[in-house]
Structure 1
Amino acid sequence: MNPNDKALEVTSEIGKLKTVLLHKPGQELENLIPDYMERLLFDDIPYLKIAREEHDSFANILRDNGVEVLYLEELAAESIKDNNKRQEIIEEFLDESGIESLYARSAIKEYFNDLDNQQLINKMMAGIRKTEIKNIKSSSLIDMVHSKYPFITDPMPNLYFTRDPFATIGSGITLNHMRTDTRNREAVFAKYIFENHPRFKDKKVPIWFDRDETSSLEGGDELVLSDKVVAIGISERTDPVSIEKFAKKIFNSDQPFETVLAFDIPKKRAFMHLDTVFTMVDYDKFTIHPEIEGPLIVFSIRKGKEKNQLDIVKEEATLEEVLKKYLKIDKVTLIRCAGGDYIDAAREQWNDGSNTLAISPGEVVVYERNYVTNKILKEHGIKIHEMPSAELSRGRGGPRCMSMPLIRESLRK
């Protein structure tokens, strides 16, 4: 990487994808059990062996199309080569995991001492079973009260959805405060990567929203529609106040963005993020789940006359008209999940039929199981790359959810 190149650059959803961050599912999926799936935000338990094979197929589709694939777990391990940073991330991980017992903290640190950096990161992600550490004394009330819970630290099974803990917007990121404690720990890895990894640490990556905020913002709700327009979902996982904080920060930066479109979507599990119901696949084409069209409300946010003031307008127009207005295009085509059929759309939406990853304009990666929607995409001239998805889809996230673009080519080049 040329030292003069930007470490990050994303000014659209569809510019040719150059570099992407993934996380290959690991032992954290083996620590999912029925009694605690709801706590860990899962509806089912993927079979790890097949999930990893499917994920490799996804990565290979990207590589075969000229995309540099980086892995979260590898970058995180490379970010703590300095022993002081290694100790810092251990302390922060224990804090984020709610480990208050001094006995437990001491025993975990001793356990971590025998692990190299990659093993350490993998174990943090996988979670620690009580059976793995034998020398935690049960003389603490904290330890005794939680004695029946099988984990010392919870697994992080949602990590293969790398889209959410942070989001690349322009040449900076939002380092996100996640809605749930279960997922909020995931952003620790991104923090250490951007602060310490050789690829990023000297680039002074700007932060548009930081994880120490008290309101929540998640990457699945953040879409970069153009170098002028960012769309953010007001959703089950993202608060309106977070959108305002982000808008004020980015409008007072050197970035080219002029408008934030806030999409108020239904607050339900199937529509947890904006990108589960709406993605951009070409200059003028978008996937959409038909159920959001009726209740969808869009607010436009622009920089006000005074510093840190925002001009917020409730748009009194259809979604097509709003997109045409702000993207400055003559026509908008909304490609409805499963063609809008009630039964097919509900089924394919549950398996992320509207969640596509564009690798260039008009070219996307999709789950092969959503065959009705995929046929319709092809009928609209979209080139699709179908990936296997029997196990990965059990986590309720699609190809966009599983990828965090770091660099895309500018559409204006």
Structure 2
Amino acid sequence: MTETTTHQHKVTSEVGRLRTVLLHRPGAELKRLTPRNSDKLLFDAIPWVGRAQEEHDAFAQALRDRGVEVLYVTELLQDALEYGAARDEAIAGVIDDNRWGDQLRRVVRGYLRDLDSEDLAHTLIAGLAHEELKTAHGLVYRLMDRLDFIVDPLPGLLFTRDSGVWIGDRVAVTSLAMPARHRESALTGLIYAHHPRFAGVTRLYDPSLEHVEGGDVLLLSPGVLAVGTGERTTPAGVERLARQVFEAGLAHTVLAVPIAQERATMHLDTVCTMVDADTVVMYPPVAYSLTAYTVTGANGDLRVTEPRPFLEAAAEAMGLDRLKVIDTGLDPVTAEREQWDDGNNTLALAPRVAVAYERNIETNAQLEAAGIEVIRISGSELGTGRGGPRCMSCPIFREEPSG
């Protein structure tokens, strides 16, 4: 088990030098994807798992090569499950499923309790298939299709950004909107609650609250958040998060940014990410049409302005004359293709240094022409779940941005 030591956990921007990040290396949960269940599990294609793992290993190594400490969800989860309270919490979360009935629930509880920490972590992530539970019996079990899952796999766990986001020195364990991803937040919360590395960390948000997903949260600058609201994050979630960060003194302004409720633009970071303290890369069709409502605290309540152009509202909140935009300047067809392939979903490792999928050739060329160093990674298989480098990473510690 990991010994308790002092670690830094703090994120106040999108571009401060990245020092520690949480990833999830794809595994057996991706092997559970079939044409029969991929839509339900939110994948657009069936990934070649071995190649996806190779791509993810290369991504992790690219981060390490730049001095980033890489933590893995599975390893942290296994450590946490060595503690009885964490095991009990994890098992209780799984068996709270009204599809099962009492008889199957008792069998599953006993099965999970008999697993060691490594096997329990594996099952929580990869799921439990009907035919793997040899000891099961009863009406519910017998009437299930033999290809059904008793515990669903979590292929979306690859995108660690969504279920947890650090704002300042606190972690928001988010409330994921899609049923297929609900348990991701439970596992993320379990790690932060029980792993010794995070002892004493204060929780800013909880999965029981209104829907907020980390891909919609951009830390534009210290004290300024932009939060997309669309397919995954609700307006009520934006309002709740704003109240939480204001009460904690972690922000003075939250920009609520409506985005199209479409698969290709499911989160704010699918259309806009930061590559420098004053520069964003944006999907051309929305760069100058995106709007924002400025939300500030007012005597214990919220003050909300009329909508304004996002770039204008963001620059004002950040104390800038203007927010520079790399809109890639692509023709409409290329722009649409590279948007679908997460061309705008970059991960800044430091100011003017960003990780991007290599396949987005034109977008990357425009970034380099603007003076951004682009670290290219392969994502032909990783991208089948509709997520890029930012989606696949949860920064835990960034240095404070200079200036």
Out of 201, 209, 224, the residue aligned to residue 205 of structure 2 is 209
Give the secondary-structure state (helix, strand or coil) at the position aligned to 1:401: coil
Tell whether 2:334 aligns with 1:344.
yes
Out of 183, 186, 194, the residue aligned to residue 184 of structure 2 is 186
Give the secondary-structure state (helix, strand or coil) at the position aligned to 2:305: strand
* 8 Å CA contact retained: 2:83, 2:194: no
Aligned counterparts of 2:217 and 2:7: Cα–Cα separation in 1: 21
* 8 Å CA contact retained: 1:31, 1:155: yes
* 8 Å CA contact retained: 2:176, 2:232: yes
Aligned counterparts of 2:42 and 2:315: Cα–Cα separation in 1: 36
Identify the residue that residue 279 of structure 1 maps to in structure 2: 273
Identify the residue that residue 379 of structure 1 maps to in structure 2: 369
Deviations 1:221-260 (A, max 9, x none): 01111112011001100001111111112111143x1100
| CA distance 1:403–1:197, shift in 2 (3 Å) | same
Give the secondary-structure state (helix, strand or coil) at the position aligned to 1:36: coil
Tell whether 2:148 aligns with 1:153.
no
Identify the residue that residue 227 of structure 1 maps to in structure 2: 222
Deviations 1:187-226 (A, max 9, x none): 111111111111112x2x232221112x211000011111
* 8 Å CA contact retained: 2:257, 2:310: no
Aligned-residue offset at 1:114: 4.7
Identify the residue that residue 241 of structure 1 maps to in structure 2: 236
| CA distance 1:121–1:4, shift in 2 (3 Å) | closer
| CA distance 1:98–1:124, shift in 2 (3 Å) | farther
TM-score normalised by length of structure 2:
0.95
Aligned counterparts of 2:226 and 2:129: Cα–Cα separation in 1: 40
Q: Which amino acid aligns with 2:325?
A: L
Out of 134, 152, 160, the residue aligned to residue 162 of structure 1 is 160
Tell whether 2:356 aligns with 1:327.
no
Aligned counterparts of 1:370 and 1:383: Cα–Cα separation in 2: 14
Matches within 5 A, 1:57-72: 57-72=58-73
* 8 Å CA contact retained: 1:7, 1:200: no
* 8 Å CA contact retained: 2:3, 2:196: no
Identify the residue that residue 85 of structure 1 maps to in structure 2: 86
TM-score normalised by length of structure 1:
0.93
Tell whether 2:306 aligns with 1:314.
yes
Aligned counterparts of 1:387 and 1:290: Cα–Cα separation in 2: 23
Tell whether 2:262 aligns with 1:262.
no
Aligned-residue offset at 1:2: 12
Aligned counterparts of 1:31 and 1:407: Cα–Cα separation in 2: 33
Aligned-residue offset at 1:405: 0.1
Identify the residue that residue 358 of structure 1 maps to in structure 2: 348
Aligned-residue offset at 1:88: 2.5
Q: Which runs of 5+ in 2 are unaligned?
A: none
Aligned counterparts of 2:239 and 2:34: Cα–Cα separation in 1: 38
| CA distance 1:388–1:98, shift in 2 (3 Å) | farther
Q: Which amino acid aligns with 2:284?
A: P
Identify the residue that residue 126 of structure 1 maps to in structure 2: 126
Q: Which amino acid aligns with 1:251?
A: F
Give the secondary-structure state (helix, strand or coil) at the position aligned to 2:87: helix
Aligned counterparts of 2:31 and 2:136: Cα–Cα separation in 1: 23
Aligned counterparts of 1:109 and 1:148: Cα–Cα separation in 2: 20
Aligned-residue offset at 1:386: 0.4
RMSD: 2.0
Tell whether 2:27 aligns with 1:21.
no
Identify the residue that residue 44 of structure 1 maps to in structure 2: 45
Q: Which amino acid aligns with 1:200?
A: F
Aligned-residue offset at 1:371: 0.7
* The 10-residue stretch of structure 1 (374-383 or 99-108) with the greater mean CA deviation from structure 2: 99-108
Give the secondary-structure state (helix, strand or coil) at the position aligned to 1:266: coil
Give the secondary-structure state (helix, strand or coil) at the position aligned to 1:340: coil
Aligned-residue offset at 1:123: 1.6
* 8 Å CA contact retained: 1:7, 1:199: no
Give the secondary-structure state (helix, strand or coil) at the position aligned to 1:115: coil
Deviations 1:297-352 (A, max 9, x none): 21000011x22x00111243x33322321112234221124x23211111111110
* The 10-residue stretch of structure 1 (183-192 or 112-121) with the greater mean CA deviation from structure 2: 112-121
Aligned counterparts of 2:185 and 2:274: Cα–Cα separation in 1: 25
Give the secondary-structure state (helix, strand or coil) at the position aligned to 2:225: strand
Aligned-residue offset at 1:74: 0.8
